[in-house]
C-alpha cells in the first residue's frame, strides 16, 4: 500500500519536471529567434560583438534543447533497466550542456582575438544597438523567469540554463557598450565585447560542471543536514538510537537510507506505524525529498 507521503513525492516530482520541461521548450524557441536576428543584423552591420552574441544565443538554444530533453526523460518511471528512475538524466544533461558552453566560448574567443588584431568599423551602429536592446530585454525576462522556476523546484539543469541565459543578457549589455565605443572611433572595443562574452560563458560552465559532476558522483554537500535529521528522528517515540544516515542527490531530490535502533519486541504493525512517523519527520526537514528507506535494527 502506498502511503500519502509517497503519493505526494510522486506527484511533486512529475509536476516539477513537467513545468521545467515547458519553460525549457519555450526557451529553445525564444533563443533560436533571438540568435537568428542577431546574426543577420551582425553580418549586415559588420559587428563582431553582435555576431558573437548571436552565436551565443543560438548555442544557448541548443543548451535549452538538451535541458528540455533531459527533463523530458527525467519524468519517465523506473523500469527493469533503471530501477531508481531517470532523475539523474537531468544532471547528466546539465554536464553535457556545460561542455558545449566551453566549446562555444573557445570559438567566440578565437574570432574575437582575430578581429582585435585587425579591427574594422561598424556600419549602421544604430540598427545594431536597437537590435541588442530589444533582444537583450526579451532574453533577460525569460532568463529570470526560468531561474525562478528552477529555484522553486530545485532543477539543476534548468538553473544552469537560466544562469547561462542571464549571462547572455548581461553579455548583451557589454556588447551594447562596446558598439557605442566602436561607433565613436575605438573599433577594437567591438572585439573586446566578444572576448568578455566568452569569459562569461566559461565562468557559468565551470560552476555547472562542478555541481553536476558532484551530483552524478552521489556527493551530498550538506553534512549539517544529517545532524539536524538525526536530532529530529531521536525525538520520535520508540526510537532508541539513530544509526547511519546516507543521503544522495537524485535530480532535484535527496534520497537515501536511514538506520534506526528500536525495541526488538515490536510487532510488524507497530514498526510500520513508526516508519510512517519517521518519513513524516524526514519530509518536514528535507524539501524536496525522494525515496527514503528506513532500516530497523533491534536493540
Domain boundaries, the chain: 4-216, 223-298
CATH of domain 223-298: 3.30.70.1350
Q: Which residue has the higher pLDDT, 56 or 280?
A: 280
The pTM of this model reads 0.68
pLDDT tens digits for 151-210? 777 776 677 777 777 777 777 888 888 888 888 888 888 888 888 878 877 887 887 788
Quote the cell numbers at residue 137.
Answer: 530585454
CA–CA gap between residue 187 and residue 116 (Å, rounded): 9
pLDDT in tens, 201-251: 788 788 778 888 888 888 876 667 788 888 889 888 888 889 888 888 876
Is the pLDDT confidence value at 90 over 80? no
Task: Please name the helix (run of DSSP H) or strand (run of DSSP E) that holds residue 265, with its range, or none.
Answer: none
Which fold is adopted by the domain 4-216?
Answer: Alpha-lytic protease prodomain-like (1.20.1510)
Question: Among residues 180, 173, 174, which one has the least CA distance to residue 136?
Answer: 173
Residue 251 pairs in a beta bridge with: none
Percent of the chain with pLDDT over 70: 89
Instruction: Name the average pLDDT for the chain.
Output: 80
Burial class (CB in 10 A: 0-12, 13-18, 19+), 167: buried
Amino acid at each position: 500500500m502506498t502511503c500519502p507521503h509517497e503519493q505526494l513525492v510522486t506527484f511533486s516530482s512529475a509536476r516539477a519536471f513537467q513545468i521545467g520541461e515547458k519553460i525549457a521548450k519555450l526557451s529553445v524557441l525564444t533563443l533560436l529567434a533571438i540568435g537568428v536576428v542577431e546574426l543577420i543584423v551582425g553580418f549586415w552591420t559588420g559587428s563582431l560583438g553582435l555576431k558573437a552574441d548571436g552565436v551565443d544565443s543560438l548555442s544557448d538554444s541548443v543548451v535549452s534543447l538538451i535541458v528540455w530533453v533531459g527533463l523530458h526523460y527525467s519524468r519517465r518511471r523506473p523500469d527493469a533497466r533503471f530501477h531508481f528512475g531517470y532523475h539523474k538524466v537531468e544532471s547528466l544533461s546539465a554536464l553535457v550542456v556545460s561542455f558545449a558552453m566551453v566549446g562555444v566560448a573557445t570559438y567566440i574567443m578565437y574570432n574575437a582575438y582575430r578581429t582585435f588584431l585587425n579591427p574594422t568599423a561598424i556600419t549602421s551602429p544604430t540598427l545594431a544597438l536597437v537590435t541588442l536592446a530589444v533582444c537583450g530585454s526579451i532574453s533577460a525576462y525569460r532568463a529570470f523567469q526560468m531561474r525562478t522556476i528552477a529555484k522553486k523546484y530545485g532543477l539543476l539543469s534548468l538553473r544552469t540554463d537560466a544562469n547561462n541565459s542571464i549571462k547572455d543578457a548581461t553579455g548583451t549589455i557589454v556588447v551594447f557598450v562596446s558598439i557605442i565605443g566602436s561607433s565613436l572611433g575605438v573599433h577594437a572595443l567591438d572585439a573586446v565585447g566578444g572576448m568578455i562574452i566568452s569569459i562569461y560563458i566559461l565562468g557559468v560552465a565551470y560552476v555547472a560542471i562542478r555541481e553536476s559532476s558532484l551530483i552524478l558522483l552521489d556527493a551530498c554537500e550538506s553534512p549539517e543536514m544529517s545532524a539536524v535529521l538525526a536530532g529530529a528522528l531521536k525525538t520520535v517515540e520508540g526510537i532508541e538510537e539513530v544509526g547511519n544516515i546516507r543521503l544522495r542527490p537524485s535530480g532535484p531530490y535527496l534520497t537515501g537510507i536511514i538506520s534506526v535502533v528500536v525495541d526488538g519486541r515490536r510487532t510488524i504493525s507497530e514498526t510500520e506505524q513508526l516508519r510512517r512517523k519517521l518519513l513524516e519527520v524526514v519530509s518536514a526537514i528535507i524539501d524536496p525529498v525522494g525515496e527514503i528507506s528506513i532500516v530497523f535494527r533491534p536493540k
